A and B are shown apart, each in its own frame.
Chain A
Amino acid sequence: MIRVEGIRKSYGKKAVLTNVNLSLETGEQAAIIGRNGCGKTTLMHIMAGITKPDAGSVSYFGHNIFKEKRTVAKYCGYLPQGDCLLEELSVQDNISLWSGKSGAPSGELTDFFDLKEILKVPVKNLSGGMKRRVSIACTMVGWPPVLLLDEPTGGLDRYYKAEIRELMGRYRALNGILVIVTHDEEEIKTCSRCFELSGGVLKEAT
Protein backbone atom coordinates (compact mmCIF):
# COMPACT_ATOMS: atom_id res chain seq x y z
CA MET A 1 0.00 0.00 0.00
CA ILE A 2 0.98 3.63 -0.52
CA ARG A 3 1.18 6.10 2.33
CA VAL A 4 1.96 9.73 1.53
CA GLU A 5 1.97 11.85 4.66
CA GLY A 6 2.34 15.59 5.18
CA ILE A 7 4.24 16.35 1.97
CA ARG A 8 5.41 19.94 1.65
CA LYS A 9 7.38 21.36 -1.26
CA SER A 10 8.30 24.90 -2.24
CA TYR A 11 10.26 26.28 -5.18
CA GLY A 12 11.87 29.40 -3.75
CA LYS A 13 9.11 31.36 -2.10
CA LYS A 14 6.38 29.63 -4.06
CA ALA A 15 4.76 26.84 -2.07
CA VAL A 16 3.57 24.17 -4.50
CA LEU A 17 2.51 21.47 -2.07
CA THR A 18 1.50 22.52 1.42
CA ASN A 19 0.08 19.38 3.00
CA VAL A 20 -0.44 16.37 0.79
CA ASN A 21 -1.73 13.12 2.24
CA LEU A 22 -2.67 10.04 0.27
CA SER A 23 -3.36 6.47 1.21
CA LEU A 24 -4.01 3.70 -1.31
CA GLU A 25 -4.44 -0.05 -1.00
CA THR A 26 -3.54 -2.78 -3.48
CA GLY A 27 -5.84 -3.08 -6.47
CA GLU A 28 -6.79 0.61 -6.35
CA GLN A 29 -6.47 3.02 -9.24
CA ALA A 30 -6.34 6.68 -8.30
CA ALA A 31 -6.62 9.65 -10.62
CA ILE A 32 -4.96 12.90 -9.67
CA ILE A 33 -6.56 15.88 -11.33
CA GLY A 34 -5.99 19.61 -11.09
CA ARG A 35 -5.21 22.74 -13.06
CA ASN A 36 -1.98 23.06 -15.04
CA GLY A 37 0.87 24.08 -12.77
CA CYS A 38 -0.87 23.05 -9.55
CA GLY A 39 1.92 20.61 -8.64
CA LYS A 40 0.70 17.25 -9.96
CA THR A 41 3.97 16.41 -11.65
CA THR A 42 5.93 17.62 -8.61
CA LEU A 43 3.89 15.24 -6.47
CA MET A 44 4.58 12.40 -8.91
CA HIS A 45 8.30 13.23 -8.85
CA ILE A 46 8.25 13.11 -5.05
CA MET A 47 6.37 9.82 -5.04
CA ALA A 48 8.87 8.44 -7.57
CA GLY A 49 11.79 9.55 -5.39
CA ILE A 50 13.12 11.95 -8.02
CA THR A 51 12.47 15.11 -5.98
CA LYS A 52 12.96 15.33 -2.24
CA PRO A 53 10.15 17.08 -0.37
CA ASP A 54 10.76 19.82 2.22
CA ALA A 55 8.80 17.75 4.72
CA GLY A 56 6.73 14.59 4.86
CA SER A 57 7.20 10.98 3.92
CA VAL A 58 6.30 8.52 1.18
CA SER A 59 6.22 4.82 1.90
CA TYR A 60 5.40 1.78 -0.18
CA PHE A 61 4.32 -1.31 1.76
CA GLY A 62 5.83 0.13 4.93
CA HIS A 63 9.18 1.10 3.36
CA ASN A 64 10.01 4.80 3.45
CA ILE A 65 11.49 5.70 0.06
CA PHE A 66 13.67 8.46 1.44
CA LYS A 67 15.17 6.27 4.17
CA GLU A 68 15.46 3.04 2.18
CA LYS A 69 16.91 4.18 -1.13
CA ARG A 70 16.33 0.96 -3.04
CA THR A 71 12.64 0.87 -2.20
CA VAL A 72 11.65 3.04 -5.15
CA ALA A 73 13.32 0.79 -7.71
CA LYS A 74 11.74 -2.30 -6.17
CA TYR A 75 8.23 -1.04 -5.60
CA CYS A 76 7.55 1.71 -8.06
CA GLY A 77 7.55 2.27 -11.82
CA TYR A 78 7.27 5.85 -13.05
CA LEU A 79 6.22 7.02 -16.49
CA PRO A 80 6.99 10.69 -17.02
CA GLN A 81 4.93 12.90 -19.28
CA GLY A 82 5.46 11.94 -22.91
CA ASP A 83 7.64 8.99 -23.81
CA CYS A 84 10.83 7.90 -22.17
CA LEU A 85 12.42 6.07 -25.09
CA LEU A 86 15.52 6.45 -27.21
CA GLU A 87 14.21 6.81 -30.76
CA GLU A 88 17.17 5.27 -32.57
CA LEU A 89 17.19 2.08 -30.52
CA SER A 90 14.88 -0.90 -30.97
CA VAL A 91 12.08 -1.72 -28.55
CA GLN A 92 14.14 -4.59 -27.10
CA ASP A 93 17.17 -2.32 -26.55
CA ASN A 94 15.04 0.30 -24.84
CA ILE A 95 13.59 -2.32 -22.50
CA SER A 96 17.11 -3.65 -21.84
CA LEU A 97 18.26 -0.14 -20.93
CA TRP A 98 15.45 0.20 -18.40
CA SER A 99 15.93 -3.26 -16.92
CA GLY A 100 19.73 -3.11 -16.94
CA LYS A 101 19.81 -6.59 -18.46
CA SER A 102 20.83 -7.44 -22.00
CA GLY A 103 18.90 -9.83 -24.21
CA ALA A 104 15.22 -10.31 -24.88
CA PRO A 105 12.77 -9.22 -22.20
CA SER A 106 10.77 -11.84 -20.33
CA GLY A 107 7.96 -13.57 -22.19
CA GLU A 108 5.57 -12.45 -19.49
CA LEU A 109 6.28 -8.79 -20.24
CA THR A 110 6.14 -9.15 -24.02
CA ASP A 111 2.89 -11.11 -23.77
CA PHE A 112 1.33 -8.62 -21.37
CA PHE A 113 2.11 -5.71 -23.71
CA ASP A 114 1.90 -7.70 -26.94
CA LEU A 115 5.40 -6.65 -28.01
CA LYS A 116 6.55 -9.85 -29.70
CA GLU A 117 6.13 -8.53 -33.26
CA ILE A 118 7.84 -5.19 -32.65
CA LEU A 119 10.80 -6.16 -30.45
CA LYS A 120 13.37 -5.52 -33.19
CA VAL A 121 11.67 -2.43 -34.62
CA PRO A 122 13.37 0.94 -33.96
CA VAL A 123 11.22 3.12 -31.74
CA LYS A 124 11.26 5.97 -34.31
CA ASN A 125 9.23 3.75 -36.67
CA LEU A 126 6.43 3.22 -34.15
CA SER A 127 3.19 5.18 -33.85
CA GLY A 128 2.49 7.38 -30.82
CA GLY A 129 0.22 4.82 -29.20
CA MET A 130 2.70 2.00 -29.65
CA LYS A 131 5.47 4.16 -28.22
CA ARG A 132 3.33 4.79 -25.16
CA ARG A 133 2.70 1.06 -24.81
CA VAL A 134 6.47 0.42 -24.97
CA SER A 135 7.07 3.24 -22.47
CA ILE A 136 4.69 1.68 -19.97
CA ALA A 137 6.34 -1.70 -20.60
CA CYS A 138 9.70 -0.09 -19.76
CA THR A 139 8.37 1.22 -16.44
CA MET A 140 7.10 -2.27 -15.68
CA VAL A 141 10.26 -4.28 -16.44
CA GLY A 142 10.74 -5.23 -12.78
CA TRP A 143 6.98 -5.81 -12.24
CA PRO A 144 6.66 -3.18 -9.53
CA PRO A 145 3.45 -3.28 -7.45
CA VAL A 146 3.00 0.49 -7.85
CA LEU A 147 2.79 2.38 -11.16
CA LEU A 148 2.88 6.16 -11.34
CA LEU A 149 1.78 7.36 -14.75
CA ASP A 150 1.91 11.01 -15.67
CA GLU A 151 -0.71 11.58 -18.36
CA PRO A 152 -0.41 8.10 -19.91
CA THR A 153 -2.96 8.79 -22.64
CA GLY A 154 -2.05 12.41 -23.34
CA GLY A 155 -1.93 13.17 -27.06
CA LEU A 156 -3.27 9.80 -28.16
CA ASP A 157 -6.30 9.12 -30.33
CA ARG A 158 -9.32 7.44 -28.75
CA TYR A 159 -8.40 3.96 -30.00
CA TYR A 160 -4.96 4.08 -28.41
CA LYS A 161 -6.47 5.68 -25.29
CA ALA A 162 -8.82 2.69 -24.98
CA GLU A 163 -5.87 0.33 -25.47
CA ILE A 164 -3.83 2.01 -22.72
CA ARG A 165 -6.87 2.00 -20.42
CA GLU A 166 -7.30 -1.71 -21.07
CA LEU A 167 -3.63 -2.29 -20.17
CA MET A 168 -4.06 -0.34 -16.95
CA GLY A 169 -7.18 -2.35 -16.12
CA ARG A 170 -5.26 -5.60 -16.58
CA TYR A 171 -2.45 -4.36 -14.35
CA ARG A 172 -4.97 -3.39 -11.69
CA ALA A 173 -6.56 -6.84 -11.91
CA LEU A 174 -3.16 -8.26 -10.95
CA ASN A 175 -3.56 -6.34 -7.66
CA GLY A 176 -1.22 -3.51 -8.63
CA ILE A 177 -1.70 0.08 -7.49
CA LEU A 178 -2.01 2.74 -10.16
CA VAL A 179 -1.67 6.48 -9.65
CA ILE A 180 -2.47 8.46 -12.77
CA VAL A 181 -2.24 12.13 -13.48
CA THR A 182 -4.87 12.84 -16.07
CA HIS A 183 -7.30 15.33 -17.58
CA ASP A 184 -9.21 12.65 -19.49
CA GLU A 185 -12.82 12.19 -18.33
CA GLU A 186 -13.04 8.59 -19.56
CA GLU A 187 -9.87 7.70 -17.71
CA ILE A 188 -11.11 9.29 -14.49
CA LYS A 189 -14.26 7.16 -14.72
CA THR A 190 -12.20 3.96 -14.81
CA CYS A 191 -10.42 4.91 -11.56
CA SER A 192 -11.64 3.67 -8.21
CA ARG A 193 -10.71 6.96 -6.55
CA CYS A 194 -10.17 10.50 -7.71
CA PHE A 195 -8.17 13.23 -5.98
CA GLU A 196 -8.02 16.91 -6.82
CA LEU A 197 -4.85 18.84 -6.16
CA SER A 198 -5.69 22.43 -5.43
CA GLY A 199 -3.93 25.07 -3.37
CA GLY A 200 -1.18 22.59 -2.52
CA VAL A 201 -3.61 20.20 -0.85
CA LEU A 202 -4.94 16.91 -2.18
CA LYS A 203 -8.64 16.38 -1.63
CA GLU A 204 -10.65 13.32 -2.56
CA ALA A 205 -13.21 14.26 -5.18
CA THR A 206 -16.54 12.46 -5.42
Chain B
Amino acid sequence: MAGLKDTVSKSFTAINLKKNNFVTINKINTYISTLEHEISSLYSRMGTNAYARWKKDGGFDTDQLNEFCEKIREKEEEIARQKARIQEIEEEENQILGRNEDSGEEIVGRVYCAFCGTANSDQYKFCVKCGKPL
Protein backbone atom coordinates (compact mmCIF):
# COMPACT_ATOMS: atom_id res chain seq x y z
CA MET B 1 0.00 0.00 0.00
CA ALA B 2 2.85 2.34 0.93
CA GLY B 3 4.56 1.43 -2.35
CA LEU B 4 1.42 2.27 -4.33
CA LYS B 5 1.08 5.59 -2.50
CA ASP B 6 4.70 6.36 -3.22
CA THR B 7 4.30 5.49 -6.90
CA VAL B 8 1.15 7.63 -7.27
CA SER B 9 2.86 10.50 -5.45
CA LYS B 10 5.92 10.26 -7.73
CA SER B 11 3.74 10.15 -10.84
CA PHE B 12 1.84 13.29 -9.73
CA THR B 13 5.11 15.05 -8.97
CA ALA B 14 6.40 14.17 -12.45
CA ILE B 15 3.17 15.40 -14.10
CA ASN B 16 3.18 18.66 -12.10
CA LEU B 17 6.81 19.31 -12.84
CA LYS B 18 6.35 18.70 -16.56
CA LYS B 19 3.22 20.87 -16.67
CA ASN B 20 4.91 23.79 -14.83
CA ASN B 21 8.02 23.58 -16.98
CA PHE B 22 5.93 23.44 -20.15
CA VAL B 23 4.10 26.64 -19.15
CA THR B 24 7.36 28.41 -18.16
CA ILE B 25 9.17 27.38 -21.36
CA ASN B 26 6.21 28.55 -23.45
CA LYS B 27 6.29 31.94 -21.71
CA ILE B 28 10.02 32.26 -22.33
CA ASN B 29 9.58 31.29 -25.99
CA THR B 30 6.88 33.95 -26.37
CA TYR B 31 9.25 36.52 -24.83
CA ILE B 32 12.03 35.41 -27.21
CA SER B 33 9.64 35.81 -30.19
CA THR B 34 8.77 39.32 -28.99
CA LEU B 35 12.47 40.20 -28.72
CA GLU B 36 13.15 38.84 -32.21
CA HIS B 37 10.24 40.87 -33.55
CA GLU B 38 11.64 43.97 -31.85
CA ILE B 39 15.06 43.31 -33.42
CA SER B 40 13.44 43.11 -36.88
CA SER B 41 11.65 46.33 -36.20
CA LEU B 42 14.91 48.00 -35.10
CA TYR B 43 16.65 46.81 -38.29
CA SER B 44 13.86 48.26 -40.33
CA ARG B 45 13.86 51.58 -38.48
CA MET B 46 17.65 51.79 -38.64
CA GLY B 47 17.58 51.27 -42.41
CA THR B 48 14.73 53.70 -42.97
CA ASN B 49 16.41 56.41 -40.86
CA ALA B 50 19.81 55.84 -42.44
CA TYR B 51 18.36 56.12 -45.95
CA ALA B 52 16.36 59.23 -45.05
CA ARG B 53 19.52 60.83 -43.65
CA TRP B 54 21.57 59.83 -46.70
CA LYS B 55 18.91 61.17 -49.01
CA LYS B 56 18.82 64.47 -47.13
CA ASP B 57 22.55 65.08 -46.40
CA GLY B 58 24.33 62.48 -48.53
CA GLY B 59 25.83 60.82 -45.39
CA PHE B 60 24.98 58.83 -42.25
CA ASP B 61 24.45 59.80 -38.63
CA THR B 62 26.88 57.39 -36.96
CA ASP B 63 25.67 58.25 -33.44
CA GLN B 64 22.16 57.25 -34.34
CA LEU B 65 23.37 54.09 -36.06
CA ASN B 66 25.44 53.17 -33.00
CA GLU B 67 22.40 53.70 -30.79
CA PHE B 68 20.35 51.28 -32.91
CA CYS B 69 23.17 48.72 -32.97
CA GLU B 70 23.53 48.91 -29.17
CA LYS B 71 19.81 48.26 -28.74
CA ILE B 72 19.94 45.29 -31.12
CA ARG B 73 22.94 43.82 -29.31
CA GLU B 74 21.19 44.16 -25.94
CA LYS B 75 18.18 42.28 -27.27
CA GLU B 76 20.35 39.55 -28.79
CA GLU B 77 22.09 39.07 -25.44
CA GLU B 78 18.72 38.85 -23.71
CA ILE B 79 17.64 36.15 -26.21
CA ALA B 80 20.81 34.14 -25.47
CA ARG B 81 20.12 34.44 -21.72
CA GLN B 82 16.54 33.22 -22.15
CA LYS B 83 17.64 30.28 -24.32
CA ALA B 84 20.15 29.29 -21.63
CA ARG B 85 17.34 29.46 -19.09
CA ILE B 86 15.23 27.02 -21.16
CA GLN B 87 18.18 24.64 -21.34
CA GLU B 88 18.66 24.86 -17.56
CA ILE B 89 14.98 24.07 -16.97
CA GLU B 90 15.14 21.05 -19.31
CA GLU B 91 18.31 19.73 -17.70
CA GLU B 92 16.83 20.15 -14.23
CA GLU B 93 13.69 18.27 -15.33
CA ASN B 94 15.77 15.41 -16.75
CA GLN B 95 17.72 15.22 -13.52
CA ILE B 96 14.60 15.14 -11.34
CA LEU B 97 12.86 12.57 -13.55
CA GLY B 98 15.94 10.36 -13.49
CA ARG B 99 17.26 10.58 -17.01
CA ASN B 100 20.81 9.27 -16.96
CA GLU B 101 23.09 11.94 -18.42
CA ASP B 102 26.25 10.06 -17.40
CA SER B 103 25.60 7.14 -19.71
CA GLY B 104 25.40 9.55 -22.64
CA GLU B 105 22.56 7.41 -23.88
CA GLU B 106 20.01 9.05 -26.13
CA ILE B 107 16.57 8.04 -24.90
CA VAL B 108 14.38 8.23 -27.99
CA GLY B 109 11.09 6.98 -26.57
CA ARG B 110 10.61 7.13 -22.84
CA VAL B 111 8.83 4.85 -20.43
CA TYR B 112 8.52 5.74 -16.78
CA CYS B 113 8.92 2.99 -14.21
CA ALA B 114 5.65 2.51 -12.33
CA PHE B 115 7.59 1.60 -9.19
CA CYS B 116 10.36 4.21 -8.92
CA GLY B 117 9.43 6.80 -11.58
CA THR B 118 12.78 6.56 -13.40
CA ALA B 119 12.80 7.40 -17.12
CA ASN B 120 13.80 4.44 -19.28
CA SER B 121 14.16 3.82 -22.99
CA ASP B 122 11.01 2.24 -24.44
CA GLN B 123 13.26 -0.54 -25.80
CA TYR B 124 13.88 -1.72 -22.24
CA LYS B 125 11.97 -4.40 -20.40
CA PHE B 126 13.61 -3.77 -17.01
CA CYS B 127 14.00 -0.51 -15.14
CA VAL B 128 17.57 0.82 -15.03
CA LYS B 129 17.23 1.78 -11.39
CA CYS B 130 15.06 -0.82 -9.65
CA GLY B 131 15.06 -3.73 -12.14
CA LYS B 132 11.26 -4.08 -12.05
CA PRO B 133 9.47 -4.89 -15.32
CA LEU B 134 8.40 -1.80 -17.27
Contacts and interface: CB of A to CB of B under 8 A. Distances in A.
A1 B129 CA distance: 8
Contact of B120 (A1, A143, A146, A175): A175
A103 to B, nearest CB: 20
Nearest to A75: B131
Interface string A172-196: 0111100000000000000000000
Contact of A174 (B126, B129, B132): B126
> In this complex, which of A26, A60, A173 has the most chain B Cβ atoms within 10 angstroms of its Cβ?
A26
A131 B126 CA distance: 26
Contacts of A174: 123-126
Interface in B38-71: none
A197 B33 CA distance: 63
Nearest to A76: B131
Contacts of B133: 143, 145
Q: Is the interface of A mostly helix, strand, loop or mixed?
A: loop
A143 B125 contact: yes
Nearest to A62: B130
A173 B131 contact: no
* Size range of the chain A interface in the assembly: 10 to 19
A114 to B, nearest CB: 17
A175 B130 CA distance: 12
B128 interface: yes
Interface residues of B, number: 13
> In this complex, which of A174, A175, A176 has the most chain B Cβ atoms within 10 angstroms of its Cβ?
A175
A77 to B, nearest CB: 12
Contacts of B129: 61
A176 B134 CA distance: 12
B111 to A, nearest CB: 11
Given A61-B131, A143-B133, A146-B131, A26 B126 contact: yes
B103 to A, nearest CB: 9
B125 A26 contact: no
A176 B126 contact: yes
A145 B123 contact: no
A115 to B, nearest CB: 18
Interface string A1-29: 10000000000000000000000001000
30 contacts: A1-B131, A26-B126, A26-B128, A26-B131, A60-B131, A61-B130, A61-B131, A75-B131, A143-B125, A143-B126, A143-B133, A145-B126, A145-B127, A145-B131, A145-B132, A145-B133, A146-B131, A173-B123, A174-B123, A174-B124, A174-B125, A174-B126, A175-B123, A175-B124, A175-B125, A175-B126, A175-B127, A175-B128, A176-B125, A176-B126
